[in-house]
Amino acid sequence: LLTKTQTRTTKQRKIILDELCKVKTHPTVDEVYDIVRKRLPRISLGTIYRNLEMLAEQGKIKKLEIDNQRMRFDGNTDAHSHIRCIICSSVDDIEIEPKVIWEEDSLESGYQILGNKVEFFGKCPKCRMREPE
Amino acid sequence: LLTKTQTRTTKQRKIILDELCKVKTHPTVDEVYDIVRKRLPRISLGTIYRNLEMLAEQGKIKKLEIDNQRMRFDGNTDAHSHIRCIICSSVDDIEIEPKVIWEEDSLESGYQILGNKVEFFGKCPKCRMREPE
DNA sequence: GTAATTGCAAAAATTTTGCCTCATA
DNA sequence: TATGAGGCAAAATTTTTGCAATTAC
């Protein structure tokens, strides 16, 4: 958790954010490491982890939950949905603004609902071509 | 991937499935291990992993993507949504059947959309009590 | 100057795998 | 009895952490 009173703008942090915003993929920590290392060959993995975590807490990037094997991040913080291919598992942004509707009744859960997130799944262009339905 | 032509019904597999269906939480592999070990003290973690994976592939349980730090499983395979507390991160089932609507237009993604999944977030009863809005 | 941040390396946590033995069908 | 599955332990992967040196403010 972010407890520090102050955060400084370091070369490393700036470049990590910059590179993450450039890519349209949803890179893992390792992938970010590889990308950033091209500009900062001596940067350490620990620094990548610490900065991605901090940037996500500050809302400058998003930590994704589309992969339960490892963390993935997204430099695009605009509200947008993702779609995953059920064949090859690749994940892409999707230009759709879904509306979610539900009946208010069974709120027995006791939760105060504050929002929701929609994720789509389907077949990506490549896989559709490979095995036409 | 499931390539075996045949699968056998073992004591271990039956008990893992049985215990997973009993709990209403969404346990991690480690938690399943602890639960199952009460009935099968000599079972190994590897067996838990292998079976959960296999049961998920067979559709008898669900592998969840609500935690990007580790795998979580759900013995309830009925279509249902989850809600996570933004304060304490706990995840519960929610008795809501959301409908998702979107405009068909911008299908430039090239994806064939086959379905979607909605996840809710909010404040759980405990956290609402602790810090009233 | 002070304290946040880094690089490095070791440790922790999570998941996968090889191999030999056991047990289901 | 053939082979899928289990137990065990080692390896692989992913993430966290301690610490001395560095750097932003």
Per-residue tens of pLDDT for chain B, all 133 residues? 445 568 899 999 999 999 999 999 999 999 999 999 999 999 999 999 999 999 999 999 999 988 888 999 999 998 888 988 887 778 888 888 888 988 765 556 788 888 888 988 888 898 888 876 5
Contacts of B5 (CB under 8 A, 6+ apart): none
Are the CB atoms for A83 and A118 separated by under 8 Å? no
Q: Is B90 on the interface with A (CB under 8 A)?
A: no
What pTM, to 2 d.p., does this model score?
0.87
Are the CB atoms for B86 and B121 separated by under 8 Å? yes
Indicate yes or no: strand D within 7 A of the C-beta of B45: yes
Distance of CA A56 to the CA centre of its chain: 9
Q: Helices in chain B by DSSP H: which ranges?
A: 11-22, 29-37, 45-57, 125-130
Cα distance between residue B42 and residue A62, in whole Å: 41
Backbone φ, ψ for residue B72 (5° rounding):
-130, 150
On chain B, the residues whose CB falls within 8 A of the CB of A66 are 65, 68
Indicate yes or no: strand D within 7 A of the C-beta of A70: yes
Tens of pLDDT, residue by residue over A39-80, are: 999 999 999 999 999 999 999 999 998 888 899 999 999 888
Three-state DSSP class for residue B60: coil
Cα–Cα nearest to A120, from A78, A76, A82: A82
Which residue type sits at B61? I
Q: Least CB-CB distance to A65: which of B66, B85, B120?
A: B66
On chain A, the residues whose CB falls within 8 A of the CB of B69 are 71
CB half-sphere exposure, B52, CA atoms < 13 A:
26
Angle at which helix A11-22 crosses helix A45-57, to 10 degrees, equals 70
